[in-house]
Chain A
Amino acid sequence: MAESPAYTYHPRWLRRRVSTYWWLEKWSYFAFVLREGSCLFVAWFVVYLLLLIWRVLQGDAAYQEFLAWSARPSVLVLDIVSFLFLVYHAITFFDAAPRALVVHVGSKRVPQQLVGASHYAAWLVASAVVFWLVLGA
């Protein structure tokens, strides 16, 4: 909003600065910061997946080496924490999606619950495919 007028100044009006630790004042603010922070763990999983593909392309020895590295306690703990944050990220994203995505069929609006449920259904199908690829194939 480029043409937005400046904040009115009055010498007697009291302005209070928002605390640097505003996100600790309420659980909902903290949950929001956790959700934003979960992006870092999503990024880590992308990097991890790319590393995995890179090592697989280098051959069996490199792949076994990657597996051994992944089994190290520090990497394992990081991956478990990342997984938990990833689930949190996905759930908060799916909860937000129906509010941003308004779908119409003809002139009728599709209920928000149905839009949300379709996200979870897609997640379930994608997870089933991954399980089938990893364990079944």
Chain B
Amino acid sequence: MRDHITLQVARYLPEKQSEPTFDEHEVPCPKDWVVLDGLNYIKDRIDGTLSYRWSCRMGICGSCGMTVNGEPKLTCATFLADYAPGPLRIEPLRNFPIIRDLIVDIGDFMRKLVAVKPFIVRRYEKPLSDGEYLQTPDELDEYKQFSMCINCMLCYAACPIYGLDPKFIGPAAIALAQRYNLDNRDEGAAQRMDVLNEHAGIWGCTFVGECTKVCPKNVDPAGAIQRYKLTGAVESMKAFFMPRGA
């Protein structure tokens, strides 16, 4: 059937099974349907027990990341027709513990994200009467690319280093640290460097580069990490040759 496509959806019911299995379903395949539409069709009309995360359907919330035919994808931005005649194999994101069906535990990422202080850090907040913090378009351009991250964690699923060493703080957290380091209103770069200038931080990355390839927002986390390494190396050299902070 050309107007339908087969979805092979991973199921993991921890109370019943120790390994995932796959359920096959035929779903409609109009040209404007994305993988998430196919999953919603299954949930609404075929099997209401299927569990997965989603929210905005427009590539903003970063909730619906899954592995589609072996590649980490946002299912709201991956069209079924691009995979015709199918079948499509849909699995949970790799490198994360699977809680149920297509849902993974994101607690590890959330803790790492907080550790890099992904917000503007100021030594002293100026009073409101002094007005806003000004920023030129050039200053905005310095960090804008990294600010596009939606925390979808596709980069973690694509990173073999994170898979091998879960202590690695990972691509998105480092890219977001860079986003704030490069913001002229921020003064927290030294605090972030304390967290990231470690083996589990920037130096854990061996630049496989897959994080950048799978990023749906063109954030280039791999570039952010290499740039951070250069800064980290310069800082370490300064600390070695100028221990008194000259």
Chain A: residues with CB nearer than 8 A to chain B?
1-5, 7-8, 10, 12-16, 18, 22-23, 26, 28-29, 32, 36, 96, 99-102, 107-109
Q: Is the CB of B115 within 8 A of A32?
A: no
Cross-chain contact of B160 among A3, A4, A5, A23 (Cβ < 8 A): A23
Most chain A CB inside 10 Å of its own CB: which residue of B209, B226, B230: B209
- Which residues does chain B contribute within 8 Å of A13, judged by CB atoms? 14, 97-99, 105
Q: Which residues of B contact A28 (CB under 8 A)?
A: 208-210, 213
Whether B207 contacts A109 by the Cβ 8 Å rule is: no
Residues of B within 8 A of A109 (CB): 138, 141-142
From B141, B142, B208, B220, contact of A32 by CB (8 A): B208
Chain A nearest Cβ from B167, distance in angstroms: 6
Determine whether the beta carbon of B97 is less than 8 Å from that of A14. Answer: yes
A101 CA to B164 CA, complexed, in Å: 28
Q: Is the CB of B188 closer than 8 A to any CB of chain A?
A: no
- Whether A12 lies near B15 (C-beta < 8 A) is yes
- Closest residue of chain A to B12 (Cβ to Cβ) is A14
Tell me the complex Cα distance, A14–B111, Å.
Answer: 20
Interface residues of B in 141-200 (CB under 8 A from A): 141-142, 160, 163-164, 166-167, 169, 195-196, 198, 200
Instruction: Report Cα–Cα, A22/B160, bound state, in Å.
Output: 8
Q: Max chain B CB contacts within 10 Å: which of A7, A14, A15?
A: A14
How many Å lie between the Cα of A3 and that of B196 in the bound state? 11
**Contact at A1–B99, with CB atoms within 8 Å?**
no
Please determine whether A3 and B115 come into contact, CB atoms closer than 8 angstroms: yes
Residue of A nearest to B213 (CB): A28
Tell me whether B226 and A100 are in contact (CB under 8 A).
yes
Give the total number of A-B pairs whose CB atoms are below 8 A apart: 89
Min CB distance, A26 to chain B, in Å? 8
Question: Are A12 and B14 in contact, CB atoms less than 8 angstroms apart?
Answer: yes
Q: Which of A15, A23, A99 contacts B227 (CB 8 A)?
A: A99
Q: Which residues of A contact B229 (CB under 8 A)?
A: 100
Q: In the complex, are the beta carbons of B227 and A4 less than 8 A apart?
A: no
Interface string of B68-107 (1 = CB under 8 A from A): 0000000000000000000000000011011100000101
Q: Nearest CB to that of A7 among chain B residues?
A: B166
- Closest residue on chain B to residue A98 by CB atoms: B223
| Closest beta carbon of chain A to B170's beta carbon, Å | 10
Bound-state CA distance A23–B209 (Å) is: 13
Chain B residues whose CB sits within 8 angstroms of the CB of A101 once the complex forms: 227, 230
B95: nearest chain-A partner, CB-CB: A18
A23 to B208: give the CA distance in the assembly, Å.
10
A10 touching B141 in the complex, CB below 8 Å, given contacts A22-B163, A96-B207: no
> Is the beta-carbon distance between B138 and A5 smaller than 8 angstroms?
no
Task: List the 7 closest pairs (A to B, CB-CB), nearest first.
Answer: A99-B223, A100-B226, A12-B14, A13-B97, A18-B163, A14-B98, A1-B200
**Which residues of B are found within 8 Å of A107, using beta-carbon distances?**
136, 138
A residues less than 8 Å from B200 (CB atoms)? 1, 4
